[in-house]
Amino acid sequence: MGVKPRFLALLAVLLVTTACRPVDAGRVDTRLTAEALALLRDWDDRRSQAWTEGDAGALAGLYTPGSRSGRKDRAMLAAYAARGLRVTGLQVQVLDASLRSRAPGRITLEVTDRVIGAHAVSDTFRIPLPRDRPSTRVISLRRVAGAWLVAEVRPVPTPARP
């Protein structure tokens, strides 16, 4: 009779352990990465709209309070506006991405991307801006009051070539 409870306990541990293990860890990561990229794509679209409209307030609302990345982005927008320019057609082309971490209300991605399709526009001209070279960054997103905002964007150094 003493063996039966131990056997049942062992069986329960095996069942729980097997049920909690993902079937394909790579597949689960791919799904989570795709969800995180969809959030980032939506964020990029809203950023592009803010740049097109020259709307510093809307741009500020895409970043967490105190974000250095947000301050830099707003400063660039202000520099274009000071010259009477808006930037239209701003698109981010993602070349590679991986999910670094995910926790409730927090997502960190490593993304290799580049800016394409942007134009500097004034009342009298429209000039294509040069294509950005691919660069890799770590993007930290936070959920604040129901919205996903960028907390920081940090460059990932590229290894020196021999």
Per-residue pLDDT tens over the stretch 33-85: 889 999 999 999 999 999 999 999 999 999 999 999 999 999 999 999 999 99
156 — alpha (psi -120 to 50), left (phi > 0) or beta? beta
Confidence (pTM): 0.78
CA quadruple 103, 145, 46, 98: dihedral, nearest 10: 0
Domain 27-155, CATH number (from 3.10.450.50, 3.90.1010.10, 2.60.40.10, 3.40.50.720): 3.10.450.50
Q: Locate the domains of the chain by residue range.
A: 27-155
* Least confident residue range of 10-14, 119-123, 128-132: 10-14
What pLDDT, on a 0 to 100 scale, did the predictor assign at position 135?
94
Helix (H) or strand (E) holding 62: none
